[in-house]
Amino acid sequence: MKRLFLQLACVLMLSMLLSPAWAVDPLPSWKDGPSRRAIVTFVEASTQAGAPGFIPVEDRIATFDNDGTLWSEQPVYFQVFFVIDRVKALAPEHPEWKDTEPYRSLMADDLFTAMASGEDGLMEVLAATHAGMSVEEFSTQVREWIASARHPSTNLPYTAMIYQPMRELLDYLRANGYKTYIVSGGGQAFMRPWTEEVYGIPPEQVIGSYSELEYTVRQGKPVLMKLPKVGLVDDNVGKPVGIQRFIGRRPVFAFGNSDGDLQMLQWTMAGKGPHFAGIVHHTDSEREWAYDRTSKIGKLDKALDVAAENGWTVVDMAKEWSQVHPEP
């Protein structure tokens, strides 16, 4: 009788552990709200064989913007801070920069004047400061910077300013057979050295803006050198181009936060079968920053209107996330 009782107790405990009520919550930082329910409903339907919303594993492609979607982006994109440090380090070799914008403003930490040069000006700076070295040398510089640099407003390491709910979402998708990609306007070579450790996304699944490369032999060894020539600006209309070029499959799940992600979201939703489009709406001025239609960084205007018209999921950060960044 005692043995039978123990067996029954074990069966009962096992059934409790396996039941949804006792299962580990895969999205603990997401409050029970419309965004969480929409995500879970979509993922559960897409993984039930025979169900109307089922998606074969090979088609479970999920793409995410990085700046403002997976980590913070204010007061400027974090790569700009990296560029500022590179400009200051290289300035002695370029005396002409002291009279040339946006270099002059970057050396003076005048971010907003520097940003007035627009995307073309910043891409020129990226090409100038990132070129003339091998891809290995550049990766080393990025790793050293990301390990030591601190955000000027929060004094946190930049990798501590990732969004905990989005990291949970990445893990949740991968646990359900999804392959997760970054599709960002940020530099591809800047992101690849650290995304696997921080997000669990390996370098071959990182798509971003990039400069051209040149194969050469240096001191008897073959190397790839970065050139001061832009290959792809992976933003706006460039995102679907980058997706097709590097993935070759249309995503079924995509997340962004700004008008720069609109074309990626539209491209995703235009495919056949079930699809999901999500937008992180920065509404939390206490725990992060609140901004949308008038922001110079991460402007969310047209995409917000399109999302409302088409029933896309818009995440209200202040209301729907119980925490923003990981616990220290």
pLDDT digits (tens, 9 = 90+) for 50-91: 999 999 999 999 999 999 999 999 999 999 999 999 999 999
Residue 62 falls within a domain, yes or no? yes
pLDDT tens per residue across span 174-205: 999 999 999 999 999 999 999 999 999 999 99
Residue 316 falls within a domain, yes or no? yes
pLDDT confidence of residue 3: 57
- How far apart CA 215 and CA 209 sit, in angstroms, is 19
- How far apart CA 134 and CA 223 sit, in angstroms, is 6
Instruction: State the CB neighbour count (10 A cutoff) for residue 212.
Output: 14
Instruction: State the CB neighbour count (10 A cutoff) for residue 252.
Output: 23
Residue 109 falls within a domain, yes or no? no
Average per-residue pLDDT in the chain?
A: 92
Question: How buried is residue 185: exposed, middle or buried, by Cβ count under 10 Å (0-12/13-18/19+)?
Answer: buried
Question: How buried is residue 220: exposed, middle or buried, by Cβ count under 10 Å (0-12/13-18/19+)?
Answer: exposed
User: Does 21 have pLDDT greater than 50?
Assistant: no
pLDDT tens per residue across span 35-47: 999 999 999 999 9
CATH code for the domain in which residue 241 is found: 3.40.50.1000
Beta-carbon contacts of 301 under 8 Å, excluding residues fewer than 6 positions away, are 259, 292, 293
Residue 140 falls within a domain, yes or no? no
Residue 120 falls within a domain, yes or no? no
Mean pLDDT (whole number) for 122-140 = 88
- Residue 2: pLDDT band by 50, 70, 90 thresholds? low
Residue 138 falls within a domain, yes or no? no
pLDDT tens per residue across span 93-126: 999 999 999 999 999 989 878 888 876 787 788 7
Mean pLDDT (whole number) for 236-247 = 98
Which has the minimum average pLDDT: 16-20, 90-94, 142-146, 265-269? 16-20
Residue 127 falls within a domain, yes or no? no
C-alpha torsion sign, points 191, 196, 201, 202: positive
pLDDT tens per residue across span 267-294: 999 999 999 999 999 999 999 999 999 9
DSSP state of 234: -
pLDDT confidence of residue 185: 95
pLDDT confidence of residue 36: 98
The answer to whether residues 225 and 216 touch, using CB atoms and an 8 Å cutoff, is yes
pLDDT confidence of residue 13: 52
Beta strands 206-218 and 221-232, pairing class? antiparallel
Domain of residue 269, residue span:
25-75+161-320
DSSP characters for 221-273? EEEEEEEEEEEE--STTHHHHHHHHHT-S--SEEEE-SGGGHHHHHHHHTSSS
Break the chain down into helix, strand, coil percent, rounded to 5. 45, 20, 35
CA-CA distances (angstroms) from residue 112 to 132, 155, 162? 27, 20, 23
User: Does 17 have pLDDT greater than 80?
Assistant: no
- Residue 19: pLDDT band by 50, 70, 90 thresholds? very low
The answer to whether residues 312 and 84 touch, using CB atoms and an 8 Å cutoff, is no
- How far apart CA 321 and CA 240 sit, in angstroms, is 29
Listed in sequence order, the DSSP H helices in 270-316 are 302-310
Residue 126 falls within a domain, yes or no? no
Please count the structural domains in the chain: 1
Mean pLDDT (whole number) for 5-25 = 53
